[in-house]
């Protein structure tokens, strides 16, 4: 995946997370392309501060999957969004770090 495509997907994820969790809650977003269950996927990692989030993390996760899937369908992109919500302690342990 090119740097431009990665940056666009990260911005897409950031915009979706800000809408769902609130502007102040979203600190970082990372996207990596791959496969999940033999289908193309984008693995989105979000660093979200639960103390600043406007909703509980479980609801944020569900709504992010829905919103990103809708956005990808609108772009005719067959990738499925796989979401990880991480805290500050786990952010540095992710695969892309």
Is the Cβ–Cβ distance between 38 and 53 less than 8 Å? no
pTM of the model: 0.90
Is the Cβ–Cβ distance between 43 and 27 less than 8 Å? no
Give the pLDDT band of residue 97 (cuts 50, 70, 90): low
For the chain, the structural domain boundaries read 3-89
Instruction: Report the CATH superfamily, name and number, of domain 3-89.
Output: Cation efflux protein, cytoplasmic domain (3.30.70.1350)
pLDDT tens profile 46-77: 999 999 999 999 999 999 999 999 999 999 99
**What's the rounded mean pLDDT across residues 36-46?**
94
């Amino acid at each position: 995946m090119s740097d431009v495509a990665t940056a666009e997907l990260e911005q897409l994820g950031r915009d979706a997370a800000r809408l769902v969790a609130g502007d102040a809650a979203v600190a970082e977003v990372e996207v990596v392309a791959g496969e999940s269950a033999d289908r193309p996927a984008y693995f989105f990692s979000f660093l979200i501060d639960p103390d600043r989030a406007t909703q509980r993390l479980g609801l944020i996760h569900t709504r992010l999957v829905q919103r990103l899937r809708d956005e990808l369908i609108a772009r005719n992109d067959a990738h499925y969004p796989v979401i990880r919500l991480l805290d500050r302690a786990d952010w540095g342990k992710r695969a892309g770090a």
